[in-house]
A and B are shown apart, each in its own frame.
Chain A
């Protein structure tokens, strides 16, 4: 009887033939979410949202009043010795708010500890990695605010086990990125302000979220904003986008911490990708 069942298993044959290579349409937003998660080095099954990781990790820059960042750079033509870098200026816009200032203090400590950890790691491995998205005195001494460097040297923060794990992941991703970008750096820089706070309450101040790319031509632009549970609330392919704080269904999003992420190609050559946290206050 058993043999009969297996030999004549037409149900199996039918389903396998029909569904084995079956395809269904995929919403483009799914790629954007995957891309952002990969960039954040998030292991999705761990259940920790990227936004919380961002806050723990070095790249959570809500803490920093003014900092200049080197971001991903890759030179296509190897013949020329110089290559390009993109400098992104991070600007704190609402630092006078007491409540948020406290929050930022927390983040400052964490940020510093990550940077120290990375320093140690680099020494251990004897690798010449260029750490992306964190301050990098080696390649951009003139851009590093003194304040930042002092803090980096002086502050020692005890780290919880969980933080360590997250940082190791982050460091690993950054090292991979660093390998990819290589050591050949620097010539043309672009400076872009990445806002990390905005308040869509129609008071005439910071009511819309946008990124001012100035005169740079951005091709292939793709940006996505997600909430703490990795749900996409906004997406755009236009570098001149203006977001008014409404989600995909046209409802106002809740105040809180969000993540945004964008990729693109500057002036037809230099790929950029950058993510940042975004505080929404109403």
Chain B
């Protein structure tokens, strides 16, 4: 599959630009630069969106809304940090807005601590492919999926997550524990079948 093709035969110098020059061109309104920026980051960002969304349609909606924000706010991007990190934060925030709008934020969870296994079986998770893990994340209940994504993959602290989601830090921690327990159980099942 070739998601993007440039069939015009015109030279496209924007594809070799570094992030900062590309941003400058985009801010000036160069449409080819905007397209290049989209093509450079969209595949990674769609994967981000998918982890938060309930399905692929919602992920695409989030991606679109997120990139519209990216282009409208690009002038405010400071030319020093990581462009990818900046875009990713916008995507995550857009995803959280979407989840909030649909009332799915921590919807199906309570704050009880969770029984999770803490044995030495952690090794079994090695060797799983990204695609499998992606499916696992997407199959998680909304309640702790969001916290898991924010903490484990995006790397926010529980304090930051608590502020982003408007919950207690302890809630964030217990949701993460649930997510971990859920994933561990699923992974054990997968390995059980394979053996």
Name A residues whose Cβ lies closer than 8 Å to a Cβ of B: 1, 4-5, 8-12, 14-16, 18-28, 30-31, 33-35, 37-38, 41-45, 74, 176-177, 180, 219-220, 230, 237, 263, 265, 268, 271, 273
Comparing B1-9, B13-21, B103-111, B159-167, the segment that makes contact with chain A is B1-9
A27 to B3, Cβ gap below 8 A?
yes
Bound-state Cα–Cα, A37 to B177, Å:
40
Q: When the two chains form the complex, which single residue of B28, B46, B64 contacts A24, counting CB atoms closer than 8 Å? A: B46
Bound-state Cα–Cα, A50 to B97, Å:
20
B43 to A25, Cβ gap below 8 A?
yes
B68 to A10, Cβ gap below 8 A?
no
Label chain B's interface by main secondary structure: helix
B34 to A30, Cβ gap below 8 A?
no
Bound-state Cα–Cα, A180 to B43, Å:
29
Q: What residue of chain B has the Cβ atom nearest to residue A8's Cβ?
A: B122
Q: What residue of chain A has the Cβ atom nearest to residue B51's Cβ?
A: A19
A16 to B155, Cβ gap below 8 A?
yes
Q: What residue of chain B has the Cβ atom nearest to residue A221's Cβ?
A: B8
Bound-state Cα–Cα, A43 to B69, Å:
7
Bound-state Cα–Cα, A27 to B98, Å:
21
- Write out the residue numbers on chain B whose beta carbons fall within 8 Å of the beta carbon of A1: 118
B47 to A24, Cβ gap below 8 A?
yes
Q: What residue of chain A has the Cβ atom nearest to residue B8's Cβ?
A: A220
Per-residue A-contact encoding for B27-52, CB less than 8 Å = 1, 0 else: 01101101100110011101100110
Bound-state Cα–Cα, A173 to B91, Å:
22
Give 15 pairs: A residue, B residue, CB < 8 Å, sorted on A.
Answer: A11-B180, A12-B151, A15-B152, A19-B130, A24-B43, A24-B134, A26-B39, A26-B42, A28-B3, A38-B67, A43-B72, A45-B94, A45-B97, A219-B8, A219-B10
A11 to B64, Cβ gap below 8 A?
no
Q: When the two chains form the complex, which single residue of B47, B125, B152 contacts A22, counting CB atoms closer than 8 Å? A: B47
Q: Is B169 an interface residue (CB 8 A)?
A: no
A271 to B31, Cβ gap below 8 A?
yes
**A25-B94 CB under 8 A given contacts A177-B29, A273-B31:** no
Nearest chain A CB to B82 CB, angstrom units = 12
Q: Is B128 an interface residue (CB 8 A)?
A: yes
- Write out the residue numbers on chain B whose beta carbons fall within 8 Å of the beta carbon of A4: 118
A10 to B118, Cβ gap below 8 A?
no
A38 to B43, Cβ gap below 8 A?
no
Q: Is B22 an interface residue (CB 8 A)?
A: no
B152 to A12, Cβ gap below 8 A?
yes
- Write out the residue numbers on chain A whose beta carbons fall within 8 Å of the beta carbon of B118: 1, 4-5
Nearest chain A CB to B171 CB, angstrom units = 15
- Write out the residue numbers on chain B whose beta carbons fall within 8 Å of the beta carbon of A18: 128-130, 133
B60 to A30, Cβ gap below 8 A?
yes
B10 to A265, Cβ gap below 8 A?
yes
Residue from A14, A20, A22, A74 whose CB has the most chain B CB atoms within 10 Å: A22
A10 to B125, Cβ gap below 8 A?
yes
B184 to A11, Cβ gap below 8 A?
yes
B10 to A34, Cβ gap below 8 A?
no
Nearest chain B CB to A42 CB, angstrom units = 7
Residue from A21, A31, A34, A45 whose CB has the most chain B CB atoms within 10 Å: A34
- Write out the residue numbers on chain A whose beta carbons fall within 8 Å of the beta carbon of B83: none
Q: When the two chains form the complex, which single residue of B32, B43, B69, B94 contacts A26, counting CB atoms closer than 8 Å? A: B43
B46 to A26, Cβ gap below 8 A?
yes
Bound-state Cα–Cα, A16 to B39, Å:
23
- Write out the residue numbers on chain A whose beta carbons fall within 8 Å of the beta carbon of B134: 19, 22, 24
B10 to A19, Cβ gap below 8 A?
no
Task: Enumerate the 6 nearest inter-chain pairs by beta-carbon distance, A residue then B residue, closest first.
Answer: A44-B65, A23-B43, A10-B122, A180-B29, A12-B152, A22-B47
Nearest chain B CB to A234 CB, angstrom units = 17
**A45-B69 CB under 8 A given contacts A1-B118, A34-B38, A220-B8:** yes
- Write out the residue numbers on chain B whose beta carbons fall within 8 Å of the beta carbon of A21: 44
Bound-state Cα–Cα, A35 to B38, Å:
10
- Write out the residue numbers on chain B whose beta carbons fall within 8 Å of the beta carbon of A177: 29
Q: When the two chains form the complex, which single residue of A20, A24, A28, A263 contacts B31, counting CB atoms closer than 8 Å? A: A263
